[in-house]
Amino acid sequence: MDYVSALVPPVVMAVAFTALIVTIVKSQGGANKGKEDALIDAALARAEGVRQAPEGTGV
């Protein structure tokens, strides 16, 4: 029975890792992709605006 207790943790970790990868792959794209892309575009535009704003203030 020692071999069973030695094999259980790696098997559980392999199953959990596989489930994590499957979840990540399934969540890419689909109906939420447009919403995620819009959020990233808005954040990038906001960051670009903040970066350019101090140049013209003359402080």
Helix, strand, coil: what percent of the chain each, to 5?
90, 0, 10
* pTM for this predicted structure: 0.48
Does pLDDT of 59 surpass 70?
no
Domain presence at residue 58: no
Domain that holds residue 29: 2-53
Q: What distance in Å separates the CA atoms of residue 54 and residue 50, rounded to the nearest whole number?
A: 7
Residue 51 CB coordination number (10 Å): 9
Q: Is 58 helix (H, G, I), strand (E, B) or coil?
A: coil
Tens digit of each residue's pLDDT (9 = 90 or more) over 4-58: 999 999 999 999 999 999 998 887 777 777 777 888 889 999 988 877 766 555 5
Residue 14 has what pLDDT? 97
Number of domains forming the structure of the chain? 1
Q: What distance in Å separates the CA atoms of residue 15 and residue 21, rounded to the nearest whole number?
A: 10
